[in-house]
Structure 1
Amino acid sequence: MTTALTTHPRQGGAGGQAAVAARARGLVKAYGSGETRVRALDGVDVDIAKGRFTAIMGPSGSGKSTLMHCLAGLDTVSEGRVYLGEDEITGLRDKRLTRLRRDRIGFIFQAFNLIPTLNALENITLPMDIAGRAPDRAWLDQVVETVGLAGRLKHRPNQLSGGQQQRVAVARALAARPEIIFGDEPTGNLDSRAGAEVLGFLRTSVDRFGQTIVMVTHDPVAASYADRVLYLADGRIVDEMYEPTAEQVLDRMKDFDARGRTS
């Protein structure tokens, strides 16, 4: 995604002691065995604040996507514990874990993952349809209005732009009112304008609706929409920043790049 540094309003913040939506303790994710064993995550302790927007950054291979996948119950852990709210999810059997992800977690990926034969509204309500739950119509209408899709609900994905398709994906994640939404490079396939719109919708969902969002990104502008940025390197959290600007994030990333070249 090609972006220009911009400013934007933000109402959320890091002030006060926030409740914890998800947390990990002593989290290790390893691949291989013996001399070829590699730790993608190396003893991570982290709390994700409820009702806040957290960005996870780091160079390729730092473990940022692995951390998100473990926190979201999409990947198993080698050691340590992961909690959603007060409930430990490490060690849950597949059926219970699938139900937990369906009922309590939302996902937004770089690929929009829409069903081509369904229209926008049907894609938005699909997870609830699968779960046998009727959507809250007032809430659904509010979500649709917030992401600007009111005039596009009958359109199929191939009739929508990339930005509009990602708006559908955002609305799908919000519509079920999950406890936490995980985004993996959600603006990676969008141009700067569409990306800014999607990030604005995510920011609004935190400020207006109290949504909790965790987003993996490599983009300083995307990270600047967050309340807090976590930096990973070699499978460990090595730094964090609150109320970031794009310029501050970019400078911090340059510092890490410089350290990597001299180490």
Structure 2
Amino acid sequence: MPERTFRSTHLPFNQGVTVTTAVANPLTGGGGESTAVAARARQLVKAYGSGETGVVALDRVDVDIARGAFTAIMGPSGSGKSTLMHCLAGLDSVSSGQIWVGGTEITSLKDKKLTRLRRDHIGFIFQAFNLLPTLTAAENITLPMDIAGVKPDRAWLDQVVQTVGLGGRLRHRPAQLSGGQQQRVAVARALASRPDIIFGDEPTGNLDSRAGAEVLGFLRRSVDELSQTIVMVTHDPVAASYADRVLYLADGRIVDEMWRPTAETVLDRMKAFDTFGRVS
């Protein structure tokens, strides 16, 4: 996959650094080789409240998210999977620990710089499509860039539209689109600004199985054909099977991972959570 650069707060914003780490990656046939990292966390703690009523949502989590790969995060209800994604995306503060997106440590950023980093380097796809009903599909796709005063890269935008299969729907408003088509618009919107990493929180949760499969297929293609990095929280073994790697959380900790998942192997692993409370 082609190399891409990441911004660093230690360099002018027209320069970049490549962050690598040693990751055992069966997808590339090696163990402990140098793999580019899109996001990483070290000793990440997220706690709510204190004392006997306090809840630790994330308990000293260390994780690396490989660049140009599709990572799914799974776990029982209350395991901390959505909290982990929100912290990695800079949507939620941390109690302690550090998070980097590319070469930028986001846990030390002030609100204004963090907002700018999210706008310029991170994309989001959520269950709710969050499309403006008065705008066409094309206008919804470019809306974040229009607000930021950034001119879209037309060649890239055309490639994104082709990848998600929206070529014949760009002039339609959301009410004229199916649920699956609306989520395709949301996917294209996330891809359009060419962010370093895209986070999805149950992105197919409001879709039927056919529409969900379409959207997951487009996400998979964006990784394979556009070298996009995607992190997706899901409870669905079928959705997780589209990923390269599945991380399993329990009690605020990453307790297992799986490479080259299938729906069957993911379901079997999730049954272990139900039986034993955590993966052994």
For normalisation by structure 1, the TM-score amounts to: 0.93
- Equivalent residues of 1:224, 1:249 under 8 A apart: yes
Deviation string 1:4-44 (CA, Å, 9 cap, x unpaired) is xxxxxxxx935454201000000000001122111000000
Tell me which residue corresponds to 1:115.
132
Q: CA deviation at 1:151?
A: 1.0
1:70 to 2:84 alignment:
no
Distance (Å, rounded) in 2 between the aligned partners of 1:84 and 1:91: 12
Deviation string 1:69-112 (CA, Å, 9 cap, x unpaired) is 00000000001000001210003111111110000000000110
% identical equivalent positions:
82
Distance (Å, rounded) in 2 between the aligned partners of 1:18 and 1:200: 25
Deviation string 1:104-157 (CA, Å, 9 cap, x unpaired) is 000000110111111100000011111111101111111111111111111111
Question: What letter is aligned with 1:207?
Answer: D
The 5 Å alignment of 1:123-134 reads: 123-134=140-151
1:258 to 2:275 alignment:
yes
Tell me which residue corresponds to 1:7.
none
The 5 Å alignment of 1:156-195 reads: 156-195=173-212
SS of 2:199 mapped into structure 1: strand
User: Which of 225, 239, 252 is 2:242 aligned to?
Assistant: 225
SS of 1:13 mapped into structure 2: helix
Distance (Å, rounded) in 1 between the aligned partners of 2:29 and 2:200: 23
User: Which of 204, 217, 220 is 1:203 aligned to?
Assistant: 220
SS of 1:26 mapped into structure 2: strand
User: Which of 166, 184, 200 is 1:149 aligned to?
Assistant: 166
1:105 to 2:119 alignment:
no
Tell me which residue corresponds to 2:257.
240
Distance (Å, rounded) in 1 between the aligned partners of 2:59 and 2:184: 35
Alpha-carbon distance change, 123 to 135 in structure 1, aligned in 2, over 3 angstroms:
same
Question: What letter is aligned with 1:232?
Answer: L
Tell me which residue corresponds to 1:30.
47
SS of 2:107 mapped into structure 1: coil
Question: What letter is aligned with 2:68?
Answer: G
- Equivalent residues of 1:123, 1:172 under 8 A apart: yes
Distance (Å, rounded) in 2 between the aligned partners of 1:38 and 1:82: 21
Q: CA deviation at 1:181?
A: 0.3
Distance (Å, rounded) in 2 between the aligned partners of 1:15 and 1:209: 21
Deviation string 1:239-261 (CA, Å, 9 cap, x unpaired) is 00001111000000001110029
SS of 1:134 mapped into structure 2: coil
SS of 2:35 mapped into structure 1: coil
Deviation string 1:39-83 (CA, Å, 9 cap, x unpaired) is 000000000000000000001100000000000000000010000
Q: How many equivalent residue pairs?
A: 250
Q: Which runs of 5+ in 2 are unaligned?
A: 1-25
Question: What letter is aligned with 1:27?
Answer: L
Question: What letter is aligned with 1:99?
Answer: R
Distance (Å, rounded) in 2 between the aligned partners of 1:213 and 1:15: 21
Distance (Å, rounded) in 2 between the aligned partners of 1:15 and 1:60: 33
Point out the more displaced range, 140-149 or 231-240: 140-149
Q: Give runs of ≥4 in structure 1 deviating > 6 Å.
A: none
- Equivalent residues of 1:14, 1:227 under 8 A apart: no
Deviation string 1:164-185 (CA, Å, 9 cap, x unpaired) is 0000000001110000000000
RMSD, aligned CA: 1.2
